[in-house]
A and B are shown apart, each in its own frame.
Chain A
Amino acid sequence: MKRFIGVILAVFLLFSSLAFGAETPKYGGTLIFGRGGDSVGLDPADITDGESTRVTEMIFEGLVGFKGETTDIVPVLATSWTVSKDGKVWTFKLRKGVKFHDGTPFNAEAVKFSFDRQFDKNHPYYKYGKWEYAEFALEPLEKVEIVDDYTVRFILKYPFAPFLANLAMFSCAIVSPTAVKKYGADFFKNPVGTGPFRFVEWVPKDKIVLEANPDYWGGRPYLDKLIFRVIPDNSVRWLELQRGTIDAMDGINPDDIPAIKADPNINFYQVPALNICYLAMNVEKKPFDNVLVRRAINHAINKKAIVDAFYKGIGIVAKNPIPPNMMGYNDKVKDYEYDPEKAKQLLAKAGYPNGFETTLWTPPIPRGYIPQPTKVAEAIQADLAKVGIKAKIVTFDWATYLQKTRNGEHEMAILGWGSDNGDPDNTIYVLLDKDNAKKGVASNIAFYKNDKLHDLLIKAQQTTSVPARKRLYEAAQIIIKEDAPWVTIAHTSAVAATRKYVKNFAIPAIGAIKFTKVWLDK
């Protein structure tokens, strides 16, 4: 019997070692990631584009970060934090024993330095950046105080719960004060942080080379080197992946997705992105001041047909302004079903039995939330024509388009938004609150104003309890659906592909792809 148990144990051990052995991460190797555009800069606080943050998030870290594929906040360079009762003082305990890549110790002083240079106009290094995101991320911040070497305090001007999510954004990463002082205006091409990878080389429009940080506090990454290579053409990049001259890529032509999924040497990854594409109806212009007209348009547009035809498997129909994987999403909201007859009835009830003429604005260039803006606009135009609404399609160059919609010159306009920090406040408050419906600078381009909604959104900003905030945003989505200032069109996914031997690869819901735990099985 003992022998029998021994044999079973041995067999079990053998199999388990085989099973686990196959997945034991290996150290070493170089991963080449192909992408469409070059980084603009590598100073985390002075960039706005995804191609830059993709690299800075490997070199730099913030006090807090996003957990895996969620928008949950987890400690990174901070180990814990507390909020004062009035919600205005946030105290962070910092991780000890962390060093920047240049040997500078990470401490409260480095934290204060990283923030002060972005928003204190008298700071000696303020002049070296445009700090595009400081207005947004640090708006509520009054000052940063050093309590001791490893404790730092953020004093806010008013209570603002999403501040924690702002701190998880790329622009709030902590930089080496020594390096900023050494390089001055050239820090953007000599980045020094605490992250898992160190900067090696940047050949503009060609490649950025990073190497593993052997002293990384979270353990050395498996890869020896990580290279981001610029290959502007999507088809050529896919050819490089097929041949195996790059190991991973994003920026995939929707038309190539079936071939990528069918290739036995390739893994395909798809994750819902935190964005929204919407059609805003300017409620300050007739006939969109009438809620019946806005509901009629919601019934008239066949969103499913649009998503199926023009998002090619990387989009889902949107019911709410925020996507299903965001905190506070209300799945109980009932969407306006596609029903042209009902739309006609509503129009007749509103006093437009024969429809009306209007304009439909559409972005001139593809954006992350809308791969084919003109085609989508044409489909909407055709749907509206079926219920008697003649919409003329209008477009401008991108900057003019943004400016004119902000001025409220449009009647109906298609636009979208990608979340900055994964917090619902950053979508619903920014795009639908009356505070943001000021002509000339509006981000609420429906110019929709509802006091009840406003109260809910402000309350949600001031409450730090997550369940309470969830309930407030759920209620907000019901009001928005009833008032129908928008037709919510689609949410898209982020997609990427790798060679089969690339292990532990994942696309996060927000922020850049993390390569810390990625390894190569070859």
Chain B
Amino acid sequence: MYRYIIRRLLILIPVIIGVSAVVFFLIRSIPGDPALILLGEHSNEESVEKVRTQLGLDKPKVIQFFYFLYNMARGDLGRSFLTNELVRIEIFKHFPATLELTLCSMIFGSVVGLVLGVTAATHRNSIIDYITTVISVTGISMPIFWLGLIAIIIFSIKLHILPISGRLDPTITFKAKSGLIILESLLRGNFGVFKNAIYHIILPAVCLGTIPMASIARMTRSSMLEVLNQDFIRTARAKGLPARKVIYVHALRNALIPVVTVIGLQFGGLLGGAVLTETIFAWPGIGRLSVEAINARDYPVIQGCIIFFALIFVFINLLVDILYAFIDPRIRYD
């Protein structure tokens, strides 16, 4: 197992170099000179030239690439063209917000998705099954922008029970070293901040969670249906086990493999930032960081974000593969 993990981690090196090369040359082939975008209507010949020199864009692309690789090997992803901030810090400052939101929406999506899926499978072709299907289809197809605004209008404007947007009340100053406000406020025993942060995360997490919820529910339903028809379930029922135990222990555990795969994929995807959700709920996450960087042709930040996303995806996939072995002890990697 450990050898397997180490081997998988070693694969990261060529992945990162490959991703870096593709990203590096790809973003430089998008039309639009970063210096010109930075300066806009007010640029002139001298200012564009000067800014290009300062950003290192006057050198040949291949040379720029080797500089970039050399610096990356030393852990330096450069500084943002736009803000002058270190890319490493930009990512570190925006990722925790996304991680917190993703975890909460995945918890919501997985729990609700699993319950819906199992219920639909055990009540196949009943009204409950149809309702569940309608919920999943709606969850997948509903535009998040619309859902978010409707949720804000109902829960924040009409009912006044939840805040509209943001991670915390703006008048609260809470410096979370890790950037994870919920976790850190809880560990430090600051329950006022903890409660405030939880209130703020409910709407965005539920809205964003509808997407994984729908996929998880559908996958659970079909996987469960397959398992429920197998002989060992009949045996379990025949030996008089309570129905709940048969479904949630014997059947669900065996139906989980494809569901865990879906959860892993969704998790990895959401960690790349959910731009629309982050925009509506004014959530200062990595999705907004990367999209704003693309609009400004902020090359170092785009590169940094994409390499970071590639790393996350590789890790999540590894985690899912390891989880398989725990769910199904027959799976061995050595």
Chain A interface residues (CB < 8 Å from chain B)? 30, 32, 40-41, 46, 48, 129-133, 135-136, 185, 188-189, 201, 203-207, 209, 225, 227, 229-233, 235-236, 239-240, 242-243, 245, 367, 396-400, 402-403, 415-418, 420, 440-441, 443
Residue in contact with A136 in the complex, picked from B47, B79, B156, CB distance below 8 Å:
B47
Chain A residues near B157 (CB-CB < 8 A): 239, 242-243
Inter-chain pairs besides A232-B288, A400-B32, A402-B43, 7 sampled, C-beta below 8 Å: A48-B38, A204-B284, A206-B282, A207-B170, A236-B280, A243-B156, A441-B44
B69-102 interface code vs A (CB 8 A; 1 in, 0 out): 0000000000100111100001001100000000
Q: Are A206 and B83 in contact (CB under 8 A)?
A: no
Residue in contact with A132 in the complex, picked from B39, B41, B166, CB distance below 8 Å:
B39
* Chain B residue nearest in CB terms to A39: B83
26 CB < 8 A contacts A-B: A41-B83, A46-B84, A48-B39, A48-B42, A130-B38, A130-B50, A130-B54, A133-B42, A135-B46, A185-B84, A201-B173, A205-B288, A207-B170, A235-B149, A236-B149, A236-B152, A236-B165, A236-B282, A240-B164, A243-B157, A245-B164, A398-B32, A399-B297, A402-B41, A403-B33, A417-B41
Contact status of A239 and B166, CB under 8 A, knowing A130-B51, A203-B284, A402-B41: no
Chain B residues near A233 (CB-CB < 8 A): 279-280, 282
Expressed in whole angstroms, the minimum distance between the Cβ of B96 and any Cβ of chain A is: 11
Chain B residues near A206 (CB-CB < 8 A): 166-167, 282, 284
B84-124 interface code vs A (CB 8 A; 1 in, 0 out): 11000010011000000000000000000000000000000
Contact status of A230 and B282, CB under 8 A, knowing A399-B31, A400-B32, A417-B41: yes
Contact status of A230 and B284, CB under 8 A, knowing A48-B42, A136-B42: yes
Expressed in whole angstroms, the minimum distance between the Cβ of B326 and any Cβ of chain A is: 37
Give complex CA distance A309, B79 in Å. Answer: 43
* Chain B residue nearest in CB terms to A209: B173
Chain B interface residues (CB < 8 Å from chain A)? 31-34, 36-47, 50-51, 54-55, 79, 82-85, 90, 93-94, 149, 152-153, 156-157, 160, 163-167, 170-171, 173, 279-282, 284-285, 288-289, 297
The winner among A133, A230, A367, A402 for most chain B CB atoms within 10 A is A402
State the 7 A-B residue pairs at the shortest beta-carbon distance, nearest first: A399-B32, A205-B284, A441-B45, A206-B284, A135-B47, A231-B282, A399-B36
Give complex CA distance A230, B284 in Å. Answer: 9
Q: Are B83 and A40 in contact (CB under 8 A)?
A: yes
Residue in contact with B47 in the complex, picked from A30, A132, A398, A400, CB distance below 8 Å:
A132
Give complex CA distance A185, B79 in Å. Answer: 10
Chain A residues near B45 (CB-CB < 8 A): 440-441
The winner among B42, B82, B167, B173 for most chain A CB atoms within 10 A is B42
Q: Are B282 and A188 in contact (CB under 8 A)?
A: no
Residue in contact with A415 in the complex, picked from B39, B41, B279, CB distance below 8 Å:
B41
Residue in contact with B37 in the complex, picked from A225, A230, A240, A398, CB distance below 8 Å:
A398
Please report the number of residue pairs spanning A and B whose Cβ atoms sit closer than 8 angstroms: 125
Q: Are A239 and B284 in contact (CB under 8 A)?
A: no
Q: Are A400 and B31 in contact (CB under 8 A)?
A: yes
Chain B residues near A403 (CB-CB < 8 A): 33, 36
Chain A residues near B83 (CB-CB < 8 A): 40-41, 188
Expressed in whole angstroms, the minimum distance between the Cβ of A251 and any Cβ of chain B is: 13
* Chain B residue nearest in CB terms to A37: B292
Give complex CA distance A40, B90 in Å. Answer: 12
Give complex CA distance A189, B93 in Å. Answer: 14
Chain B residues near A396 (CB-CB < 8 A): 31
* Chain B residue nearest in CB terms to A225: B171
Q: Are B297 and A229 in contact (CB under 8 A)?
A: no
Expressed in whole angstroms, the minimum distance between the Cβ of A183 and any Cβ of chain B is: 12
Contact status of A189 and B85, CB under 8 A, knowing A132-B38, A201-B173: yes
Q: Are B164 and A397 in contact (CB under 8 A)?
A: no
Expressed in whole angstroms, the minimum distance between the Cβ of A423 and any Cβ of chain B is: 14
The winner among A132, A136, A209, A242 for most chain B CB atoms within 10 A is A132
Q: Are B279 and A239 in contact (CB under 8 A)?
A: no
* Chain A residue nearest in CB terms to B286: A205
Q: Are A397 and B32 in contact (CB under 8 A)?
A: yes
Chain A residues near B153 (CB-CB < 8 A): 239
Give complex CA distance A400, B163 in Å. Answer: 41
Chain A residues near B41 (CB-CB < 8 A): 367, 402, 415-418, 443
* Chain B residue nearest in CB terms to A131: B50
* Chain A residue nearest in CB terms to B51: A130
Expressed in whole angstroms, the minimum distance between the Cβ of A245 and any Cβ of chain B is: 6
Chain A residues near B40 (CB-CB < 8 A): 48, 402
Give complex CA distance A451, B60 in Å. Answer: 42
Residue in contact with B51 in the complex, picked from A132, A136, A230, A415, CB distance below 8 Å:
A132
Chain A residues near B50 (CB-CB < 8 A): 130-131, 135
Expressed in whole angstroms, the minimum distance between the Cβ of B61 and any Cβ of chain A is: 17
Expressed in whole angstroms, the minimum distance between the Cβ of A386 and any Cβ of chain B is: 31
Give complex CA distance A48, B83 in Å. Answer: 11
Residue in contact with A399 in the complex, picked from B37, B167, B280, B282, CB distance below 8 Å:
B37
* Chain B residue nearest in CB terms to A369: B41
Expressed in whole angstroms, the minimum distance between the Cβ of B136 and any Cβ of chain A is: 27
Q: Are A239 and B156 in contact (CB under 8 A)?
A: yes
* Chain A residue nearest in CB terms to B39: A132
Expressed in whole angstroms, the minimum distance between the Cβ of B101 and any Cβ of chain A is: 13
Q: Are A204 and B279 in contact (CB under 8 A)?
A: no
Contact status of A227 and B280, CB under 8 A, knowing A205-B289, A402-B40: no
Chain A residues near B38 (CB-CB < 8 A): 48, 130, 132
* Chain A residue nearest in CB terms to B296: A40
Expressed in whole angstroms, the minimum distance between the Cβ of B209 and any Cβ of chain A is: 19
Chain B residues near A242 (CB-CB < 8 A): 157
Give complex CA distance A418, B166 in Å. Answer: 32
Give complex CA distance A32, B284 in Å. Answer: 17
Chain A residues near B93 (CB-CB < 8 A): 204
Residue in contact with A41 in the complex, picked from B42, B46, B84, CB distance below 8 Å:
B84
Q: Are A232 and B170 in contact (CB under 8 A)?
A: no
Chain A residues near B152 (CB-CB < 8 A): 236, 239
Expressed in whole angstroms, the minimum distance between the Cβ of A233 and any Cβ of chain B is: 5
Contact status of A245 and B282, CB under 8 A, knowing A135-B50, A399-B297: no
Q: Are A240 and B165 in contact (CB under 8 A)?
A: yes
Expressed in whole angstroms, the minimum distance between the Cβ of A241 and any Cβ of chain B is: 10
Give complex CA distance A129, B79 in Å. Answer: 12
Expressed in whole angstroms, the minimum distance between the Cβ of B8 and any Cβ of chain A is: 33
Chain A residues near B85 (CB-CB < 8 A): 188-189
Chain B residues near A417 (CB-CB < 8 A): 41
Give complex CA distance A88, B60 in Å. Answer: 42
Give complex CA distance A40, B34 in Å. Answer: 14
* Chain B residue nearest in CB terms to A46: B84
* Chain B residue nearest in CB terms to A235: B149
Q: Are B44 and A443 in contact (CB under 8 A)?
A: yes
Chain A residues near B33 (CB-CB < 8 A): 399, 403
